[in-house]
Structure 1
Amino acid sequence: MFRSRRNALVKRLWKQRIVLAVADNEAVCKMESHQELEMKSVVHSVLKRLKEAQLEALVQAVESHGAEPSGCVLVPRGDLRLGRRTSPPHVICCQLWRWTDVWQPFELKSLHWCETANEHILICCNPFHWSRLYKPESPPPPYSIYPQDLVSPKDRAPREPVSMETGGSNQYGSYRSHPPGDSSGQFLPQPWCTLAYWELRCRAGRLFPVHKNGINVFYDLPQGNGLCLRTLTGGTTRESVIRSRQNIGLGITLWREGEGVWMYNRSQYPVFVNSPTLDLPNTRPLTVFKVLPGYSVKVFDFEKSKYYQIVENAKLPDGPFDHNAVRISFAKGWGPNYSRQCVTACPCWLEVMFTVAR
């Protein structure tokens, strides 16, 4: 009975694989068939070593396409032979269920909810615990920081996030004069970022402070926690806004890792982002980058932001500029290459304001 249960789970997983369309050429069809048989043999040998609970977690992740939370699926590190090449098990699983064109481990980045980021013996082969690593076509050049040019963070007062669109700070008011607290009156630490959700030029809901290392921003889901945008909608009846809301779906995940902040696109549509630290110093206006579904990108670098502010040209005639804010639009881009020239023309977008030392 237990063997038949395991076999049924393995068959369900194999059925969910991404099947590539092949040409009518007989030789090509035979080659594809041979490769698929090799893949099937390797994958089945890995899956049959998993415990039933691990197989169930993998089935849950694959069949829900990452919509339902699922645990890590651990296998020993070490490359597996697939024809004339070898690949790590997590790369093969990502090829099978997410991206057929992924070949190397450096193309992938583990997501913050994966518990095996620092594991040296085992590796997680749950494909929805990984993302594709996005790199802008023209990344900024290397930079260096000279300690004598920077004031020690210990000597700086924390900077409250202020929206460049509203000019208002977060809903707690002054952090120094009115420390925030929860319903029990306990002190809460300063949030590392604050989120503002916008529909065109109108902000929907209050500012949302983020204290945990990671936060999900989604439209409407029956499970999970984070910022649910459906509860913040501004009540507009404009068709473009309503359509864009429906496309947000699983939305994005933001998480702080070391001295940087990463964004993972969980939705089925691209998201568009601009950030001071994704561009060269003194760049105006900021480049808008298109991040495809399944990709993650380092949207903000705290150390690079400090350096950029040191080397900035004070004579730039561009008016107010927030060095510590990122803007993310769901499904719709803006800028010179789009019909929308500014982010306030986008139907649904997010402003992320980081709390940094002044």
Structure 2
Amino acid sequence: MFRSRRSFLVRHLWKQRCTTTSRGQGEGAPSNPEDLHNALRPAVHQLFKKLKDEQLWQLLQAVEGRGRWDGGCILLPWEVRAGKQALPPQVLVCRLYRWPDLRTSTELKSLSQCQNFWRRSGDGTSVCCTPYHYSRLATPEAAISSGYKVREVARPVLSNTALTEQESSLCNVRGLHDTTLSRGSIRDGHWCKLAYWEHRTRVGRLYSVTEPSVHIFYDLPKASGFCLGFLGSEPRNDMVRRTRKKIGQGLVLSHQQGEVWVYNQSEHPIFINSPTLATINTRGQTVHKVLPGYSIKVFDADRAADLSEHSEVGNGPCDLHSVRISFAKGWGTCYSRQFITSCPCWLEILLSTPK
């Protein structure tokens, strides 16, 4: 009976492997994923043998749920082998169920619900092999070579006193609508506030974040956080309604040691603008397209301090402690929408400043 139950779990885990066609460096597989799976098969079965029955069941639930609920870490204290090269278990399961083109563990980042997220590098000997406890790491420096897309948004070079109304709304949109969007300070007990916008209208109240991480979502069972699906507003147009449904599992925002990270947990791209993602002396705004399953560092305190010393950035109209994220729709010269205020659904992150 126990053998039949275990065989049932192993068969179903193998059937759940990622077999979709390639969609670039995001969720999906290369053009011929079966070749990769056949090469990984010995290592995968070795991994399954090392897992206890309850861990196999836990892994099956995680894979079938695709991250919609969290069943905890599946910890292993060793490295499995794939062919002639040692392959860590987290790389193996992520290649099998999420990213067949994944190469090394350096391309992965633990998410906040994982024990590895809070563990210092090199601490302990165990590693989590829950595939949805990891994101694919995206960095602006590696954007072009990895297939992660960066778009430069050209903007006229204007002095601080010569901004048009549209330019002012792009850099300081809250000034046109609501002067109560005060970010506060870390001493106030929160490290950021969240404002949700539909086009040029803010919907709902500010959401203060005190925990190290927060989910921002439209529809996510068994989750707590900032639920955009509950926010009411005036009658919405069709574009807003369609985009809201695409938010789905949304994103995870986490704060750790002066860094802020965003994980795209939805099934659609998100578009991000943050001053600390741009190079020093960059004119205009840089908008980054982040695919499903990827994480990116959207704020770095040391980087913000360096930028504030350059008058072109620090004294300009753009706020170094403000990050803007549009769900599913991009903006800039490469899109029909030139400014984020034209995007149907977007989020403003107001980071608290130390005092």
Which TM-score band applies after superposition, normalised by the shorter structure?
Answer: 0.7 to 0.9
Report what 1:59 is aligned to.
60
Does 1:345 pair with 2:342?
yes
In 2, Cα distance between equivalents of 1:341 and 1:265: 23
In 2, Cα distance between equivalents of 1:314 and 1:100: 40
Does 1:168 pair with 2:164?
no
Aligned counterparts, 1:29-48, within 5 A: 36-48=37-49
In 2, Cα distance between equivalents of 1:276 and 1:216: 23
Cα separation, partners in 2 of 1:300 and 1:38, compared to 1, 3 Å: same
Report what 2:254 is aligned to.
255
Report what 2:102 is aligned to.
102
- Whether the aligned pair in 1 keeps the contact of 2:135 and 2:295 (CA below 8 Å) is yes
In 2, Cα distance between equivalents of 1:241 and 1:32: 36
Secondary structure of 1:297's partner?
strand
In 2, Cα distance between equivalents of 1:314 and 1:350: 22
Does 1:323 pair with 2:320?
yes
More helix per residue: 2
Secondary structure of 2:309's partner?
helix
TM-score by structure 2 length? 0.81
Cα separation, partners in 2 of 1:98 and 1:175, compared to 1, 3 Å: closer
Report what 1:312 is aligned to.
311
Cα separation, partners in 2 of 1:314 and 1:222, compared to 1, 3 Å: closer
Radius of gyration: which is bigger?
1
Report what 1:155 is aligned to.
none
Does 1:126 pair with 2:130?
yes
TM-score by structure 1 length? 0.80
Q: Residues 165-189 of structure 1: CA distance to partner in whole angstroms, max 9, x if unpaired?
A: 5453458x9889xxxxxxxxxxx95
CA shift for structure 1 position 221:
2.6
In 1, Cα distance between equivalents of 2:226 and 2:244: 14
How many equivalent residue pairs?
A: 314
- Whether the aligned pair in 1 keeps the contact of 2:323 and 2:348 (CA below 8 Å) is yes
Aligned counterparts, 1:1-358, within 5 A: 1-19=1-19, 36-78=37-79, 80-117=80-117, 118=119, 119-137=123-141, 163-164=174-175, 166-169=177-180, 189-313=188-312, 320-357=317-354
The percentage of counterpart residues that share the same residue type is: 43
Secondary structure of 1:307's partner?
helix
Cα separation, partners in 2 of 1:345 and 1:126, compared to 1, 3 Å: same
- Which structure 2 segments of 5+ residues have no match? 23-31, 144-171
**Is the deviation greater in 245-254 or in 57-66?**
57-66
Q: Residues 284-315 of structure 1: CA distance to partner in whole angstroms, max 9, x if unpaired?
A: 32200000000000000112112211122379
CA shift for structure 1 position 89:
1.3
CA shift for structure 1 position 20:
6.3
Amino acid at match of 2:111: L
Q: Residues 181-240 of structure 1: CA distance to partner in whole angstroms, max 9, x if unpaired?
A: xxxxxxx95210000000001110000000000000000233210000011142333111
In 2, Cα distance between equivalents of 1:334 and 1:33: 37
Report the aligned-residue RMSD: 2.8
In 1, Cα distance between equivalents of 2:251 and 2:134: 14
